[in-house]
């Protein structure tokens, strides 16, 4: 049984998905998703323990040995991602029960959980797979179900956001497919470790093979769309803000993070660090785009008038921090990137969950609706401010730990321009979090009639928010656990394959 | 270079035509057509990778010596399924957008959204 953990992790949510449709019951569908998320989390924890004990775990699908068969690989480089995705799925499952009923038509609720199961299966599969074509298939499974989830938002604007995401997301995924095709044409294999061996055989700079260079570029651009790297971010604000709140929280914490992991997997363990960051200028491009993302994302966030859009734009800036760490291609930089993946997932999920609670009680997360409610809903706004300070990077929150790690790594490499961008972005983050504080505590309520409608906030939603907020504070006070995971991941990635 | 690799030139031209249609058209159906064209170009690219000169279809038979590479064809079978699913989701969204906005032109949809927002702003 334990030998099958890598595949069970993906299989349980995948098998739960059709049952959600067939049972046609809201409660049954919710229980199935909760079960799938808990099962994935259990698998992830057991796998993390095993990886810590005896190194990378390989699973041959159907007993066909690699490289002919598809294999799943769980190593130190992907256990943090598995843990984050499945843990956030559990919290969102608890949170979603009440949030989804209030925002989505009752007949569509089982379908929503079906798509959520499929998204979870796709994201986890994308993380564990050791085969490049299989990665494309899992990417499309998660993307297609995400488009459907976004389209279930309350307003008709959600449909447009979903359509745009579909068009740009499909172009990105197809770019990835072209890159995989070119890499296959050069090497004749699809297995990641086999690919890495054959690329290394070509020589340090890929033997001057232009098809291989084109493959690296196509893979990088294709994944950059999914990561929402700055100029390719246009789909993100609409998709996160218009999706139902629970979905926004889940996606903001997981989908871009998994795409970042896949980029790391391709860059460090398939094409090789020397080729991607030495021969080709992906490191310089990555750092430049990261700086643009940090400054532009935070600056635009300052001008938003809707809490959800503000959070979505802030995500674009936070992705810049992660990309900057990874583009350094040093152990310290990649480790800082991973640490921020974990911390940002927790912080952003908490903030989107809190925004969802505001939508439930006020009908909207626009600033006009939130004005002056800081005193009447102190706990919700306290959660928003604590997690918001984490985004700014104020000690002792989780954001401080990862930003400090990132700054140290940047200073080590003498990247002063990027350091300046990180600091500028943090100041701008101070401004947009300050705006929330100003709206909630220092503005007069718009009309006396407005205010919390539901008499009490549902306990499940409050619990989910505070679990995430407290986790973020704990990761700020004692970063040994996430930092240990991130360091192990960075070591494994940079130790040429880490397998 | 062009003569020996003319298939790749043609296929990448096809892909770029598809991508250009996606970028240049505001009509959502035309965008989806462009997207399909782009994907079909990629599918043909994969299949042309597996073609062996003088090779026959990869079905075992006694009087055939060389076969074309079957793996790219199998991969593309999967990718075609993904492409069909994407098109189906895209068309379903286009139908929903037409039902709620009465148009599938992106600029018209944006205009109607802007009207919504003005009304929102006036009400609050």
Phi, psi dihedral angles at B56 (to 5 degrees):
-100, 175
List the one residue out of A71, A16, A13, A74 whose CA is nearest residue A45. Answer: A74
Rounded to an integer, the average pLDDT of B86-106 is 92
| Cross-chain CB nearest to B22 (options A148, A167, A181) | A167
Contact B90 A166 (CB under 8 A): yes
Q: Helix or strand or coil: residue A338?
A: helix
Contact B35 A160 (CB under 8 A): no
Nearest chain B residue (CA) to A187: B49
Phi, psi dihedral angles at B93 (to 5 degrees):
-65, -40
pLDDT of residue B38: 94
Residue B106 lies in a domain: yes
B chain contacts of residue A363, beta-carbon cutoff 8 Å: none
> Chain A within 8 Å of B108 (Cβ-Cβ)?
no
Q: How far apart are CA A293 and CA A328, in angstroms?
A: 16
Q: Number of structural domains, chain B?
A: 1
Residue B118 lies in a domain: yes
Q: Residues 50-69, chain B: which have Cβ within 8 Å of A? A: none
Contact A144 B45 (CB under 8 A): no
A chain contacts of residue B78, beta-carbon cutoff 8 Å: 133, 137
A chain contacts of residue B38, beta-carbon cutoff 8 Å: 171, 174
Phi, psi dihedral angles at A202 (to 5 degrees):
-70, -15
Residue B92 lies in a domain: yes
Residue B1 lies in a domain: no
The three-state DSSP-derived secondary structure of chain B is CCCCCHHHHHHHHHHHHHHHHHHHCCEHHHHHHHHHHHHHHHHHHHHHHCCCCCCECCCCCCCCCCECCHHHHHHHHHHHHHHHHHHHHHHHHHHHHHHHHCCCEHHHHHHHHHHHHHHHHHHC
Residue B116 — pLDDT band, cuts 50, 70, 90?
A: confident
Strands (E), A68-151: 71-74
Say if residues A220 and A229 touch (Cβ distance below 8 Å).
no
**ipTM summary value:** 0.91
Residue B76 — pLDDT band, cuts 50, 70, 90?
A: very high
- Does residue B119 carry a pLDDT above 70? no
Q: How far apart are CA A34 and CA A54, in angstroms?
A: 30
Q: What is the DSSP letter of A274?
A: I
> Chain A within 8 Å of B109 (Cβ-Cβ)?
yes
A79-103 helix and A459-477 helix, angle to the nearest 10 degrees: 150
Contact A159 B79 (CB under 8 A): no
Nearest chain A residue (CA) to B116: A157
Q: How far apart are CA A104 and CA A154, in angstroms?
A: 7
Q: Helix or strand or coil: residue A203?
A: coil
Range of the domain at B25: 6-123
* Structure tokens belonging to residue B107: 């600029």
Which residue is associated with the tokens 């010596």?
B65
A378-392 helix and A331-362 helix, angle to the nearest 10 degrees: 160
| Cross-chain CB nearest to A163 (options B28, B42, B45) | B28
| Cross-chain CB nearest to A151 (options B82, B96, B101) | B96
> Chain A within 8 Å of B47 (Cβ-Cβ)?
no
A chain contacts of residue B94, beta-carbon cutoff 8 Å: 163
Residue B124 or A428, more confident: A428
pLDDT of residue B121: 45
Low-confidence residues in chain A, pLDDT < 50: 497-499
pLDDT of residue B122: 38
- Chain A interface test: which of B50, B52, B79 (most A C-beta within 10 Å): B79
Q: Helix or strand or coil: residue A303?
A: coil
Each residue of A240-274: pLDDT tens digit? 999 999 999 999 999 999 999 999 999 998 888 88
Q: How far apart are CA A430 and CA A424, in angstroms?
A: 10
* Type and span of the H or E element at A259: helix A245-264
List the one residue out of A96, A118, A126, A112 whose CA is nearest residue A16. Answer: A118
Nearest chain B residue (CA) to A176: B42
Each residue of A340-392: pLDDT tens digit? 999 999 999 999 999 998 888 888 888 888 887 878 888 888 899 999 998 88
| Cross-chain CB nearest to B19 (options A133, A171, A366) | A171
Q: State percent of chain B over pLDDT 90.
A: 46
pLDDT of residue A138: 95
pLDDT of residue A455: 57
Residue B65 lies in a domain: yes
- Chain A interface test: which of B36, B117, B124 (most A C-beta within 10 Å): B124
> Chain A within 8 Å of B75 (Cβ-Cβ)?
yes
pLDDT of residue A314: 93
pLDDT of residue B114: 81
pLDDT of residue A450: 55
* Structure tokens belonging to residue A11: 């299989």
B chain contacts of residue A162, beta-carbon cutoff 8 Å: 93
Which residue is associated with the tokens 């609706």?
A369
Which residue is associated with the tokens 């000169």?
B53
CA-angle at A134, arms to B50 and A36, nearest 5° = 160
> Chain A within 8 Å of B11 (Cβ-Cβ)?
no
Cα distance from B63 to chain A (closest Cα, Å)? 27
**CATH code of residue B72:** 1.10.287.3510
pLDDT of residue A454: 54
Contact B124 A137 (CB under 8 A): no
- Chain B interface test: which of A135, A153, A181 (most B C-beta within 10 Å): A181
Say if residues A115 and A14 touch (Cβ distance below 8 Å).
no
Contact B86 A368 (CB under 8 A): no
| Cross-chain CB nearest to B109 (options A160, A162, A167) | A160
Q: How far apart are CA A353 and CA A358, in angstroms?
A: 9
Residue B50 lies in a domain: yes
Q: Helix or strand or coil: residue A374?
A: coil
- Chain B interface test: which of A70, A132, A142, A159 (most B C-beta within 10 Å): A159
What's the mean per-residue pLDDT of chain B?
86
| Cross-chain CB nearest to B86 (options A133, A144, A162) | A144
pLDDT of residue A497: 45
């Amino acid at each position: 049984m334990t030998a099958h953990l890598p595949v069970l992790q993906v299989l349980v949510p995948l098998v739960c998905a059709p049952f959600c449709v067939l049972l046609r019951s809201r409660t049954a569908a919710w229980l199935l998703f909760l079960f799938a998320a808990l099962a994935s989390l259990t698998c992830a924890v057991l796998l993390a323990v095993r990886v810590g004990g005896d190194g990378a775990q390989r699973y041959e699908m159907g007993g066909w040995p690699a490289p002919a068969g598809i294999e799943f690989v769980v190593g130190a480089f992907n256990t943090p991602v598995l843990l984050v995705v499945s843990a956030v799925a559990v919290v969102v499952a608890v949170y979603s029960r009440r949030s989804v009923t209030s925002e989505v038509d009752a007949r569509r609720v089982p379908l929503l959980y079906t798509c959520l199961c499929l998204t979870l299966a796709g994201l986890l599969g994308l993380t564990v797979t050791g085969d490049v074509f299989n990665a494309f298939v899992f990417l499309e499974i998660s993307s297609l179900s995400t488009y459907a989830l976004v389209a279930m938002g309350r307003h008709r604007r959600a449909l447009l956001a979903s359509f745009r995401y579909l068009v740009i997301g499909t172009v990105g995924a197809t770019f990835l497919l072209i890159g995989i095709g070119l890499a296959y044409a050069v090497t004749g294999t699809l297995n990641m470790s086999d690919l890495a061996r054959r690329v290394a055989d070509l020589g340090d700079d890929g033997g001057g093979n232009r098809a291989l260079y084109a493959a690296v570029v196509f893979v990088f651009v294709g994944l950059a769309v999914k990561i929402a790297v700055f100029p390719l971010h246009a789909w993100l604000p609409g998709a996160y803000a218009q999706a139902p709140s629970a979905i926004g929280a889940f996606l903001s914490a997981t989908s871009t993070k998994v795409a970042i992991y896949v980029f790391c997997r391709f860059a460090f363990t398939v094409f090789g660090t020397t080729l991607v960051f030495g021969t080709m200028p992906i490191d310089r491009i990555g750092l430049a785009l990261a700086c643009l993302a940090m400054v532009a994302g935070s600056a635009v966030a300052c001008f938003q008038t809707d809490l959800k859009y503000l959070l979505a734009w802030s995500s674009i800036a936070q992705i810049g921090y992660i990309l900057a760490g990874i583009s350094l291609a040093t152990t310290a930089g990649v480790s800082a990137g991973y640490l921020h993946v974990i911390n940002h997932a927790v912080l952003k999920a908490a903030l989107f969950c809190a925004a969802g609670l505001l939508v439930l009680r006020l009908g909207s997360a626009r600033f006009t609706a939130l004005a002056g409610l800081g005193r009447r809903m102190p706990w919700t706004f306290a959660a928003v401010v604590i997690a918001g300070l984490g985004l700014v990077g104020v000690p002792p929150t989780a954001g401080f730990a990862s930003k400090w790690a990132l700054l140290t790594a940047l200073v080590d490499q003498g990247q002063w321009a990027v350091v300046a961008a990180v600091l500028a972005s943090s100041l701008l983050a101070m401004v947009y979090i300050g705006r929330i504080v100003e709206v909630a505590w220092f503005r007069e309520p718009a009309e006396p009639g407005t205010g919390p409608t539901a008499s009490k906030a549902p306990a499940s939603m409050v619990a989910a928010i505070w679990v995430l907020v407290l986790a973020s504070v704990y990761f700020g006070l004692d970063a040994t656990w996430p930092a240990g995971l991130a360091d192990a991941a960075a070591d494994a990635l940079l130790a040429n394959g880490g397998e | 270079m062009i003569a020996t690799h003319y298939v790749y030139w043609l296929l990448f031209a096809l892909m770029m035509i598809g991508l250009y249609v996606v970028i240049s058209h505001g009509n959502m159906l035309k965008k989806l057509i462009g997207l399909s064209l782009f994907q079909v170009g990629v599918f043909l690219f994969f299949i042309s990778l597996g073609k062996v000169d003088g090779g026959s279809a990869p079905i075992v038979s006694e009087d055939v010596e060389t076969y074309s590479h079957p793996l790219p064809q199998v991969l593309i079978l999967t990718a075609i399924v993904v492409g069909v699913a994407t098109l189906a989701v895209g068309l379903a969204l286009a139908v929903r957008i037409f039902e709620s906005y009465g148009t599938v032109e992106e600029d018209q949809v944006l205009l109607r959204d802007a009207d919504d927002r003005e009304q929102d702003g006036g009400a609050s």
